[in-house]
């Protein structure tokens, strides 16, 4: 008991001593400072780690995006201009990797679904390896589909132009230039004035081995939408007409057409048909049969007869306008384009032999037509894969 009293007295003496109080206060203050310092250092270290991780992740994301844009550039740029072209992907896909050893993107381009050449999937992985704490990695997936570029400056610069080989048979008179992105074969009697004949392959009429030129492509959904929006009254064809899905049309009575006439199928013309700044778009073929006579009056809207399939003229087509097919143009009758042009994707006049006269419309030169352009892959979806 006496011992406890002595200890308590010593403690009271220590606390009452000013030097002791100062020492105790200092120790407590130092402890608090050390605690705050440790906490601050810990927070700073964590913030630095998080900031570094976020920075590397952001850089990886931009690398992935750059990979997507590079792949699209390769796809949409012709080989002669440094690109890979629309036919770059293979059935098993293609892969590119660009960048440095520490920062790079890896891109895979493949058809989606496999075998569907109009739609592709682009997967781009951006990687940053130089991070102090961990590597940054982000993945972006884009799907794209072939469409028509609205920024294209391609125009109708020739009287006759094919995107592959051209075969000329029979009596043909041409006022303007002609070009084939393949071979130009002449089996007929050709009167070529105010222009030249060129070809990217062999050429019976002039210079061969010339650069491939852009062939204007038709934006079919664009014109289909125009026809549907103009088709307010099915009985009024002044502004145009959409004839329905999977519907072929036969013009067997003399008629006058105005505006855009979109046929999701084949067209047969076996009577007199006058196009007053009108255009027939057919997703199938166009056949002008026997007594069929088509008079083109397209002085404002140059596109006249347009088809995805073959255009075959067994009757007569004459006047002002552009005839264009994504397949084969064959003339077994009379074609007299007084002002205009004939464009065919897979050949012109092969196997025909009728009388053909084409006078190029110089007003078409260097002037893109709305709804036409070059084919490009256009993004249809974007997503990031986590």
Per-residue pLDDT tens digits for 256-298: 999 999 999 999 999 999 999 999 999 999 999 989 999 999 9
H and E: helices and strands count for the chain: 3, 27
Cβ–Cβ < 8 Å for 364, 157: yes
pLDDT over 70, % of the chain:
82
What pLDDT band is residue 12 in, cutting at 50, 70 and 90?
low
Report the range of poorest mean pLDDT among 14-28, 95-109, 135-149, 335-349.
14-28
Instruction: Please give the angle made by the CA atoms of 114, 116 and 120, to the nearest 5 degrees.
Output: 80
Phi, psi angles (nearest 5°) of residue 169: -125, 150
pLDDT in tens, 91-106: 788 999 999 988 999 9
Residues in the chain: 386
Mean pLDDT of 176-183: 96
pLDDT in tens, 108-150: 999 987 777 789 999 999 999 865 555 688 999 999 999 998 7
pLDDT at position 150:
74
Instruction: Please give the angle made by the CA atoms of 199, 204 and 210, to the nearest 5 degrees.
Output: 20
In whole angstroms, give the CA distance from residue 204 to residue 181: 14
The domain segmentation of the chain, as residue ranges, is 1-147+375-386, 160-370
**For tokens 């008991």, what's the residue?**
1
pLDDT at position 248:
95
pLDDT at position 129:
84
Across all residues in the chain, what is the average pLDDT? 86
In whole angstroms, give the CA distance from residue 283 to residue 207: 34
* Buried/exposed 116-138: b ≥16 CB within 10 Å, e otherwise: eeeebbbbbbbbbeebeeeebbb
Burial grade of 49 (CB within 10 A; 0-12, 13-18, 19 or more)? middle
pLDDT at position 383:
95
Sign of CA dihedral 208, 80, 212, 120: positive
DSSP assignment of 165-223 equals -EEE-SEEEEES-EEESS-EEE-SEEEEESS-EEESS-BSSSB-SPPP-PPPEE-HHHH
């Amino acid at each position: 008991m006496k011992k406890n009293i002595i200890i308590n007295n010593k403690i009271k003496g220590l606390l009452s001593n000013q030097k002791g109080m100062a020492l105790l206060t200092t120790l407590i203050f130092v402890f608090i400072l050390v605690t705050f310092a440790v906490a601050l250092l810990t927070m700073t270290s964590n913030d630095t780690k998080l900031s570094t991780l976020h920075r590397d992740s952001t850089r990886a994301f931009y690398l992935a995006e750059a990979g997507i844009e590079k792949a699209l550039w390769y796809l949409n740029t012709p080989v002669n201009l440094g690109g890979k072209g629309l036919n770059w992907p293979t059935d098993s896909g293609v892969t590119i990797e660009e960048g440095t050893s520490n920062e790079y993107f890896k891109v895979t381009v493949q058809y989606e679904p496999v075998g569907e050449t109009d739609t592709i999937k682009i997967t781009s992985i951006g990687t940053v390896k130089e991070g102090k704490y961990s590597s940054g990695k982000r993945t972006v997936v884009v799907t794209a589909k072939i469409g028509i570029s609205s920024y294209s400056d391609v125009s109708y610069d020739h009287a006759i132009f094919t995107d592959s080989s051209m075969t000329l048979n029979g009596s043909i008179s041409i006022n303007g230039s002609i070009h084939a992105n393949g071979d130009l074969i002449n089996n007929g009697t050709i009167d070529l004035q105010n222009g030249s004949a060129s070809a990217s392959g062999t050429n019976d009429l002039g210079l061969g081995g010339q650069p491939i030129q852009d062939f204007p492509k038709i934006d079919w959904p664009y014109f289909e939408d125009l026809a549907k929006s103009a088709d307010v009254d099915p009985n009024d064809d002044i502004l145009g007409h959409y004839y329905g899905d999977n519907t072929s049309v036969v013009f067997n009575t003399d008629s006058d057409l105005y505006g855009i006439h979109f046929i999701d199928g084949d067209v047969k013309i076996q009577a007199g048909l006058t196009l007053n700044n009108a255009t027939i778009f057919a997703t199938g073929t166009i056949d002008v049969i026997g007594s069929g006579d088509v008079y083109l009056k397209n002085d404002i809207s140059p596109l006249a007869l347009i088809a995805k399939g073959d255009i075959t003229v067994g009757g007569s087509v004459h006047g002002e306008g552009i005839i264009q097919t994504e397949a084969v143009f064959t003339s077994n009758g009379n074609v007299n384009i007084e002002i205009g042009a004939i464009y065919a994707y897979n050949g012109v006049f092969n196997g025909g032999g009728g009388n053909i006269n084409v006078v190029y419309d110089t007003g078409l030169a260097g002037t893109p037509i709305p709804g036409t352009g070059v084919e490009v892959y256009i993004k249809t979806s974007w997503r990031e894969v986590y």
